[in-house]
Structures are given as structure tokens and as C-alpha cells.
Amino acid sequence: MKLDYIARETFTNLRRNVTLTIAAIMTVAVSLALFGSTLLLNQGVDNVSARWKDGITLIAFLKSDITDEQRDAIETFIDEHPEVERWRYVDREESHAEAMRLFDRNEAMKQRLEANPELVPDSYRLTPTADDVDLMASMGEELAAMPGVLQVTDERESVQTVVGVSEFAQRAMLVVGIGLLVAALLLILNAIRMAMYARRREIEVMKLVGATNWFIRVPFMLEGIVQGLIGAIFALGAVFALDRFMQRAAQHEDYRAIMEGFVATSGELWFTVVVVLVLGVVIGAAGSGWALSRFLKV
Amino acid sequence: MITFENVTKIYKGNVEALRGVSATIEKGEFVFLVGPSGSGKSTMLRLINREETADKGRIFVAGKDIARLSSWRVPYLRRNIGCIFQDYKLLATKTVYENVAFALEVIGRPRNVVKTQVPAILELVGLESKADNLPEELSGGEQQRVSIARAFVNRPLILLADEPTGNLDPATSVGIMRLLDRINRTGTTVVMATHDRSIVDTMQRRVIELEHGRIVRDQARGVYQ
Ligand SMILES: Nc1ncnc2c1ncn2[C@@H]1O[C@H](COP(=O)(O)OP(=O)(O)OP(=O)(O)O)[C@@H](O)[C@H]1O
Ligand SMILES: [Mg+2]
């Protein structure tokens, strides 16, 4: 009986306050959509950065039939160049692990990689001392011409641009997201306050006849939590849409090289989902808890 | 059942509503609180169910120093104290039956208890035929009966009544007093604040008179004066 009482009261409150409830839900939705998107992008940027960690900007992929002499020649060539601060040899196993991570949700690609491990070649990864694009470019051309080298990529500029833009976007979204989160909290606070006002006579009678504080509070707490949760569910719609957009972009010929790193793994996507839902519940509980502690006197 | 020991109550703005009030009310007594407006009658009642707390002195209800009750136990104190008011405090959207049932539901009484207790108490106050009416469809006297039913349905030890006949004509008031008398005869302690001279004079019960927050008279089988 307690359960159906609580469910009934919570639902009645939500319905009675419909405009304020909708405003609260929408604000939660927008703020959490921004938050969730930031989180998703942030993890994408981490993926990209991981690939270029240590400031690696030049990658020389090697042919699978490369000989030891050709390898030695390449290493000597690199060592002779003072503008290379350090370099690293990445073997097939590491490259394979990296590719599997990048293509976490691209089953077709994963299967192809599993079947033909040689698709992902070994590579040398070089970090320059100077930030001299031309020098690196000319060195890259020389490297590419050496026997045993499959291909040389210098994705520094494009990656930096994308990372830079995305970091700016993230920061802007975070600021707006936090602002809206505060607005959402205040709206929930007010929605609960209105609900308490609408039910002030009931509350008065409940206190008089000896209803416990817990009993009086629960429907209002639940009302706030439901608002937060519904907002979070709408926000997840936006997060999934963003994720799909990123996946599409990553499949597009022109942006593939840059975008594929940005696609979050399924683990990261679910992490974002959980964070958004928890945040929704927390905002709802905090808003209603705040209203109750301020306006419900024992 | 209720003991005031040197109780002082000071509201915000330095209003001294009670100044060193001491009184003991035994189980099963019927006590009138009288005195001019602002003398502290309602304050005394609100202190008993801990709607307010005393600034000085101690108050015992059913043997417990209620200042020492932690806030989560206050609701359990209130389950032993029924309250009725001049303005009834009924819920306008609920029927008579629902208003009374509400008092049991919100303290977690099981459904079958509600189903047997509510009709029984409505019969006691003579409103079984109005169970499905809304408060606005009742006369003032009938509304006060509903509020008495709600206050008494949980069989409290104490019934506090703050000017329960304040809005009623003399004939209806007599009916309400008969009901309160009946409730008192079941062993329930009744404390009633009132300005109604004729009621106090005809009932011939204990009278505590307050003036400026002090007890100026405490008389068994007293009159309004
Ligand atoms: N919540 C409050 N805050 C501040 N002052 C209050 C409060 N309640 C009562 N008072 C003051 O305390 C004094 C006693 O008030 P109380 O309500 O106890 O009087 P009363 O005897 O019940 O009067 P009445 O017969 O008019 O109901 C009055 O001066 C009143 O203004
Ligand atoms: Mg009063």
C-alpha cells in the first residue's frame, strides 16, 4: 500500500506541475546532452592523442617482406638526422592491438584484421626536435624512397587542427553545459517547491497525524529524480546521434584518416551512458533534496 | 499525561508568548484553556505536539521529556496526539472517507485496518451517510465532525482542540461538545482552547486561564468568568 501511495503521489505531482516539469526536464536534457557529448568527444580525442602520444608526427610503415639490411639502413638514416629527437619501432603486435582498438565497433574491419594480420604493417615512429614542417616533409620524402618502406604519413597538421577545434568545442560545451546544469538544478528546486506549495495542506495534515519525514519526502524526492532521469534519457538520444554521426564521418573516404580515431569504443560509449544517467538522477535528487531541506520544516 | 515545568516560549521578535508556565494534566482529564486573545493558549497546544519547542523549562508528554526526542521520533509522539482546529484543515479534494483514511494511510496502517476503522469512526461522529461527500458539501458542524473523526481514528491518548467551535453557531457547538465529551469518556485526555463562555460554564470542567503568557487561574470544575 505504501508503494502504490508513493507512486500515485509522485505521478500526481508531476502532472499537476506540468509546465515547470517540462521546463526542468528540457533543461536537464540539454545540459546533459552537452555534457555527454563533451565526454564522448573527449574520449575520442584521447584515442587520437594516444596514437600520436610522445609527439610522434611521422610514421614510416614497412613492407612485410623487409629485410634486416633494409631495416638497418633505415635506422642508420634516422640516427643521422639530428632533427629527429627520438624514434620508436612499433612491431606488428602493437600495431594490431592499436588497430583493433580503433575499429572496436567496426566488426567487418575487425574480422579482416583478424584474418590478415599483415594488413597492419610494422612502423617507425619519429618525433622531431624542431617544429619544422618543411624539414619533416623533406625527410619523409627521403624515407619513403628507401627500400622496404611501404608508405610515410605525416598527419600532424590535420590532426592538430581537428584536436584543436574539438578541444575548443569541448570547452565551450562544458561551460554551457555546466551553466545549464545549474539552471536545471534551480528549475527542479522550483518545481519541487511549487509541488510542495500545491500540497502544503496535505503536508500540514501529514505532519499533524504523525507521518514520518521519510514518508512525506519520498514522493517529492522521486518527483525530482524522475525529472532528472527523463531529462537524462532525452540527452542520451543526442549522445547516440553524435556517436552515429562520428561513425558515419569515420567511414567517409575524405575524413577517414582523421575521424576514425574519434569514434569512441563501445566501452567508452556505455561509460558515457552511465555517467549521463547517474548525473540526471543526482541533479534530480539534489534539486528536490535542496527544496525539501529549505522549505519542509519538521 | 502532560506536564509543563516553568515553560517559557519566546517567538522571533522577542514576543514572550509564555512566561514560566507550570501545570499538570492527568490522564483522562478534560481541560479548558481560556484567556484573552494573544495570551498564549495556542502556543501551549503547539508546544504539546512539538510544533514549537520551549525556550526554557521542560514539557513531559506521556512521561517523556519531549525536548529530548530526536526529530525522527516526533512523528511517533504525534501519533498519540489528535488535533482539531477552528478551520478544520480538511483536504478539499478528498471525500469525507478519504480525509479520515488519509490519516491512517500516511502513518502506514494496513489497508484492512483502514477499511474497518474509518467506517467505525464515521459512525461514531454520525457521518456514515456523508462518507462520499466532499468537505464543501457539508455544514461547518459536519466538517468539524470529520476533523474530529480524523484526529481520533488512530485512538490517540490526547486530543488537542484549538477553538473547535469558533466558527459554529451555539446549537452546533453543543453537538461538537457532546462528541468531545464522549471521546473524553473513553479515557482520552482533552485539552481545548476556547473563547466560548457558555460552553465552559455548562461543561463544568477544569479551567486554566492565561493572561500575558502566565497562568492566572487553575480551577477544577471552573467557569469562564
Ligand atoms: N509563529 C509566531 N511567531 C511570532 N509570534 C507569535 C507566533 N505565534 C504566536 N505569536 C505571538 O505569541 C503570542 C501568543 O499567541 P497565541 O497564538 O498562543 O495566543 P492565543 O491565546 O492562542 O490567542 P487567540 O485567542 O487569539 O488564538 C501572541 O502575542 C502572538 O502574536
Ligand atoms: Mg489561538
Task: Give residue A102's pLDDT.
Answer: 72
**B44 C-alpha to ligand 2 centroid (Å):** 9
Q: Could you give the CA distance from residue A246 to residue A52 in angstroms, rounded to a whole number?
A: 20
Per-residue model confidence (pLDDT) at position A17: 76
**pLDDT at A74 (0 to 100):** 85
In what helix (H) or strand (E) does residue B30 lie, and over which residues does it extend? Answer: strand B30-34
C-alpha cell of residue B24:
499538570
β pairing state of A123-128 and A58-62: antiparallel
The pLDDT of residue A261 is: 63
CA distances from B145 to B91, B97, B124, B138, B152 (A): 14, 12, 10, 10, 10
- Say if B42 is an interface residue toward chain A (CB within 8 Å): no
Cell, residue B50: 512539538
Helices (H) and strands (E) in chain A, counts: 11, 4
CA-to-CA distance for A254 and A197, rounded, in angstroms?
58
- Please work out whether the CB of residue B68 comes within 6 Å of at least one atom of ligand 1: no
Confidence at residue A21, expressed as pLDDT on a 0 to 100 scale:
86
pLDDT tens per residue across all 298 residues of chain A? 567 777 777 777 777 778 888 988 998 999 999 888 888 877 776 666 655 555 556 788 888 888 888 888 888 888 888 777 778 888 888 878 877 777 777 777 778 878 877 777 888 887 776 555 566 777 878 888 888 888 887 766 666 676 677 778 788 888 888 888 898 899 889 888 888 888 899 999 999 999 998 899 998 999 999 999 999 999 999 999 988 888 787 776 666 655 666 677 778 889 999 999 999 999 999 999 999 988 887 6
Model pTM score: 0.75
Q: Chain A residue with minimal CA distance to B113?
A: A1
| φ/ψ (deg, to 5) at A14 | -60, -40
ipTM summary value: 0.92
Helix (H, G, I), strand (E, B) or coil at A88: strand
Residue A117 DSSP symbol: G
- Phi and psi at residue A148, to the nearest 5°: 95, -15
Do the chains contact at A208 and B110, CB–CB below 8 Å?
no
Cα distances from B201 to residues B34, B38, B108, in angstroms, run: 12, 22, 41
Shortest Cα distance, chain B CAs vs residue A221, angstroms: 16
Q: Running along chain B, 225 residues long, what does each successive block of 10 average in pLDDT?
A: 95 93 95 95 96 95 92 94 96 95 93 94 95 96 96 96 94 94 96 95 94 94 83
Spatial neighbors of B191 by CB under 8 A, at least 6 apart, are B2, B25, B31, B33, B44, B45, B48, B158, B159, B160, B161
User: What are the structural domains, with CATH classification, of chain A?
Assistant: 3-50+159-295 (no CATH), 58-153 (3.30.70.3040)
Ligand 1 nearest atom to the CA of residue B18, by list position: 14
Instruction: Decide if B49 and A204 are in contact by the 8 Å CB cutoff.
Output: no
- What cell was used for A32? 546533459
Phi first, then psi, for residue B211 (nearest 5°) are: -150, 125
Residue to probe by mutation, ligand 1, list B16, B33, B34, B42, most atoms within 8 Å of CB? B42
Of the candidates B78, B105, B111, the beta carbon closest to that of A208 is on: B78
Rounded to a whole number of angstroms, the distance from the CA of A206 to the nearest CA of chain B is 7
Strand-pairing partners, residue B2, are B25, B61
| pLDDT at residue A19 in the model | 85
Residue A291 Cα, ligand 2 centroid: separation in angstroms? 30
